Amino acid sequence: MIAGPGVAADAGLPPRAAASGYVRRWTDHDRVPSPKGLVRMAEHTVSAALGIRLARSLYGRWRLMRAEERERLAQIAERVKESALDLRGSDDPRAAERDLRDANEQLAVAMVESAEADPDVEEIEVRRLREDLRRELERISTAEISAHRTNEAGNRPG
């Protein structure tokens, strides 16, 4: 961060350092995360990435649906999209992750129900869709459980 006149107070730099264009080094920052904090951040990142990946997959599948089914599920699909975008810049990442997980699950269930009700979709296609979505949702749940257990134990699962 380069501090200039008027930024010195906000940056916590002496006025002389601010006037000279001083750049704060990493070691100058007030707080460096602990190793456990870094592990928690990495776990959140993995879980969030899986949730976002599932959201992309679901949204892509939704876009390939017939027009009338897309219209019927549009509100749920938009919630998935918005939740995925909100997760990236959230002040409360855990709550944003839960919201994305709930939105993903709601869209997955709605898509399966839609496929089941469609007479043009064969049973084997419905079964395949159900299994694909179940597998993706389990992958996210497994990542969240692993992260939770790691936080409780204070070390990485082995």
* Domain locations along the chain: 1-32, 34-153
**Among candidate residues 59, 22, 57, the one with its CA nearest the CA of residue 135:** 57
CATH class of 34-153: mainly alpha
Mean pLDDT in residue range 114-139:
87
Question: Token match 């909100």: residue?
Answer: 86
pTM more than 0.75: no
Confidence of residue 127 (pLDDT cuts 50, 70, 90): very high
Q: Is the pLDDT of residue 116 over 60?
A: yes
